[in-house]
Amino acid sequence: MRTAFINALCDIADDDERIWLLTGDLGFSVLEPFAERFPDRFVNAGVAEQNMTGVAAGLASCGKIVCTYSIANFPTLRCLEQIRNDVCLHELPVKIISVGGGFAYGAQGYTHHGVEDLAVMRALPNMTVVAPADPIEATLATRALLRRPGPAYLRLGKSREAVVHRQTPPFAIGQAVRVCEGTDVALISTGGMLGYVMETAEALATLHGISARVLSMHTLKPLDVEAVISAARETGAVVTVEEHSVVGGLGSAVADVVATMDGSHAPLHKYGAPDRVNHLVGQQEVLRRMAGDLVEIVQSALRKHRQAVPCGA
């Protein structure tokens, strides 16, 4: 996803001299194409993310479109006050780019686990929040966010993410991509979990005869409310899947919609990182397993739903 982002950014910067890129001493072997082609519009602010955000806000107030770039927690949590007061308050076109969302930097411990960023960014006024599923969505999201006015948060993986989409999907901010049709359960995925969700959908169909609708919910804010409502009304269970805390991210955003629905609807289950400080250190795949086995969670959700439905309903 990082390569997809920088390639898209360079393409746009060729035609738009307003595009700037600031980094917090990160991105070596990734950001060089931009730095070499546009040296006058590239700044390494050092390990000083608060200053980086303040500089970005100043440039944006002068008519520039500015991307800041660092590992997930650092351009978000470390400089939250600057984002809130300097960027969001003034609706400035600063695009916060994070790399390594979730457990991508799992081997470096909790300080590098990006599992609260979506919740924090969703809470900020005027902030658009996007977590693409694969390099194709990352390219489309970069182009869309640079065209969109105001602040935005783009959450990327670290490296070597597989291409999940077989062809370029229709992409618009705030509109989920329906990847698979299904009627038994709706799996709503955000970020790099889409590959795992697709594997789960295939296993559910092949081994258990369960038909799964799969939605790639790349935009958490603004959320595709209609897609959520349709999933909750047309399937037997809704399961949100994210590499993020179960508090405040995709699951919470979907829950806000489901809680306000009139009439009957499918139950909601959230699949994500448990709500506790994680003292485990390990590779991304190992830490993801803390959320459990998604196939088993779907089966359990459907069993509970069938037990709750009155006979003849």
How would you write 27-70 as a 3-class SS string? CCCCCHHHHHHCHHHEEECCCCHHHHHHHHHHHHHCCCEEEEEE
b/e map 120-159, b = 16+ CB within 10 Å: bbbebeebbbbbbbbbbbbbbbbebbbeeebbbbbbbbbe
Report DSSP state, residue 175.
B
Q: What's residue 308's pLDDT?
A: 61
Q: What are phi and psi of 49, to 5 degrees?
A: -65, -30
Q: What's residue 312's pLDDT?
A: 46
Task: Name the strand (E) or helix (H) holding 220.
Answer: strand 219-221
Q: What's residue 306's pLDDT?
A: 75
* Token code pair at residue 97: 């780019």
Average pLDDT, the chain: 95
Pick the CATH number of 177-308 from 3.40.50.920, 1.10.3720.10, 3.40.430.10, 3.40.50.10860: 3.40.50.920
Contact 230, 190 (CB under 8 A): no
The tally of CA atoms less than 13 A away on the side-chain side of residue 288 is 18
Q: What's residue 215's pLDDT?
A: 98
Q: How far apart are CA 266 and CA 313, in angstroms?
A: 13
Q: What's residue 33's pLDDT?
A: 97
Question: Smallest Cα–Cα separation from 72: which of 2, 125, 147?
Answer: 2
Q: Give the tens place of pLDDT for each residue, 45-91.
A: 999 999 999 999 999 999 999 999 999 999 999 999 999 999 999 99
For the question of whether the overall pTM of this predicted structure is more than 0.85, the answer is yes
One-letter amino acid at 145 equals L
Q: What is the rounded end-to-end Cα distance, in angstroms, of the chain?
A: 46
Q: How many CB atoms lie within 10 A of CB 265?
A: 18
**Domain spans of the chain, in order of start:** 2-155, 177-308
Signed CA dihedral, 283, 142, 251, 196: sign only: negative
Signed CA dihedral, 103, 104, 109, 112: sign only: negative
What would be the CATH architecture of the domain defined by 2-155? 3-Layer(aba) Sandwich (3.40)
The yes-or-no answer to whether 2-155 and 177-308 have a common fold is yes
Please report where in the chains the tokens 């370029």 appear, as a residue.
168
Q: What's residue 194's pLDDT?
A: 97
Q: Which residues of the chain have pLDDT under 70?
A: 307-313
Q: What's residue 311's pLDDT?
A: 45
Q: What share of the chain is helix, strand, coil (3-state, %, to 5)?
A: 40, 20, 40
